[in-house]
Amino acid sequence: MDTAALVLAGLVALLHLYFMVLEMVLWEKPYGRRVFGNTPEKAATTKVLALNQGLYNGFLAAGLIWGIWLGEAGIHIRIFFLCCVVIAGVVGGLTASRKILWVQAAPALLALAMTLAG
């Protein structure tokens, strides 16, 4: 089992837990608004969408954590969820902000490459 690949997958999971908290808990708070560049009005009108998006990020994190917890037996689960994160990051990078390619897709792609190489 490649420890570096597991650590990177764990970092991707932690990033998605952070995204979940940002979107589900901090969306309307000053920190959350600053991170996403929202006004109080925009945050208020989009909070339900952010809550839903945060839930999806939580599922991605949970899947990665599950795959890590299973160790070698969880390699296919990690591959599946890392692919999901890469696809979500690419779509977000093309539709919302190019920054998402670097913050979400790139770390997952690196973790996926290391997982497949290991």
Distance CA 58, CA 67 (A): 14
Angle at 108 between CA 118 and CA 35, to 5 degrees: 155
Q: What is the pLDDT of residues 83-112, one digit of tens each?
A: 999 999 999 999 999 999 999 999 999 999
Residue 76 belongs to domain spanning: 3-117
Q: Hunting for tokens 């109080």 — which residue is that? A: 40
Q: Is the full-model pTM beyond 0.95?
A: no
Exposed, middle or buried: residue 54 (CB in 10 Å: 0-12, 13-18, 19+)?
buried
Q: Which one-letter DSSP state was computed for residue 37?
A: T
Q: What is the pLDDT of residues 37-51, one digit of tens each?
A: 999 999 999 999 999
Look at the chain and report how many structural domains it folds into.
1
- pLDDT band (50, 70, 90) for residue 118: confident
